[in-house]
Amino acid sequence: MRVVVVGAGMSGLCCARLLVRQGHEVTLVSADALDLTTSYLAAAVWFPTAVGPPEKVARWGASTYDVLAAEAAADVPGVVMRESLMLYRDRESVLPPLPGWAGEVGDVRPARPDELPPGYPYGLRFVVPLVEMPLYLPHLYAEVLAAGARHVVRRVSRLDEVLDLAPDVVVNASGMAAGALVGDDTVFPVRGQIVRVSNPGVHLSVRDEHHPGGRAYVHPRSEDCILGGTLDVGDWHTEPDPAETAAILERCIDIAPRLADAEVLESVVGLRPGRREVRVELDEDLLPVPVVHDYGHGGAGITIGWGCGEDVASLVGELAAP
């Protein structure tokens, strides 16, 4: 099949890589360079955040965890298995026996008292993939091109504007643009502001999803730490808010006190493509050729990207079957 994949962020590249492996002729279409995508800015730690439906997210997440864990074992650039700590301000906030995501990540244990920052009586320790996107996305992109795909740089306002590329099928993995491209008004921005700081020797990924000051997470990478963050539904503003930067720093130092010595490098904002439920489905009514949709991942693109891509590849494979 001649497949046009619209979008070259995490979702588009996962789809493209799987499709070229199946032997399809793939053309990537995207408006922006890799370093201008929301995926490139992402903190990119495996964790189901603000995304549904739950039963599909669990399956997609499990598949993606396995792919990323295998890539970490193979020393794929930017992928590591990161020791992590989820913090709770009271033991009762953890639903027995464990949160739903725990079943996908292997061993999960209660944190010892000496592993907890001041003010926290309880936490969970586990290991999940962490992906350094400025390293991983270029690697994945290079793999796609080396496997025979081509890349057309083009900004489109409607999905039918790629029909001149003569596709047999179009994959719509266009992230925040997906709603406008196909007239889906259920897509909304989820503004995420993060702060990038120097790493003063932090090796543990730490998060408190219910910090009184807002969501707090600390994700150490090879040369820096990513601190966050916000989930501002419906907010289109892409300029960092200095007051929010200060608030993120305050609550992240609260959960990882060693960050008090970190140097602030920059604050950045990305617009996550939100939707009540991720859309991965075949659409044979939109264009003269079939369309397979893959969008609405919210803040969980790195968590479910490979799993969603596998479903896309399966749907394309069914279309190609005699």
* CATH at residue 274: 3.30.9.10
pTM of the model: 0.94
Residue 244 backbone zone (phi > 0: left; psi -120 to 50: alpha; other: beta)? alpha
pLDDT under 70: residue ranges of the chain: 92-97
d(CA 4, CA 156): 13
Residue among 42, 304, 150 at smallest CA distance from 312: 304
Evaluate the omega torsion of the peptide bond into residue 61 and state whether it is cis, within 30 degrees of 0: no
d(CA 217, CA 298): 17
Let me know if 148 is exposed, middle or buried by CB neighbors in 10 A (0-12, 13-18, 19+): exposed
Q: What are phi and psi of 318, to 5 degrees?
A: -65, -40
d(CA 191, CA 94): 27
d(CA 113, CA 14): 40
The label of the residue with tokens 């001041």 reads: 118
- Name beta bridge partners: 238: none
Domain count, the chain: 1
Pairing of the two strands 169-172 and 2-6: parallel
Residue among 288, 279, 285 at smallest CA distance from 167: 288
Please work out, in degrees rounded to the nearest 5, the angle formed at the alpha carbon of residue 122 by the alpha carbons of 118 and 127: 105
Q: Could you list the residue range(s) of the whole structural domain that residue 225 is in?
A: 2-320
Please work out, in degrees rounded to the nearest 5, the angle formed at the alpha carbon of residue 307 by the alpha carbons of 195 and 225: 15
Residue among 136, 130, 173, 154 at smallest CA distance from 19: 173
pLDDT at residue number 99? 73
DSSP-derived 3-state class of residue 85: strand
pLDDT at residue number 166? 95
88: enclosing H helix or E strand = strand 79-88
Cβ pair 299, 271 in contact under 8 A: no
Residue 83 backbone zone (phi > 0: left; psi -120 to 50: alpha; other: beta)? beta
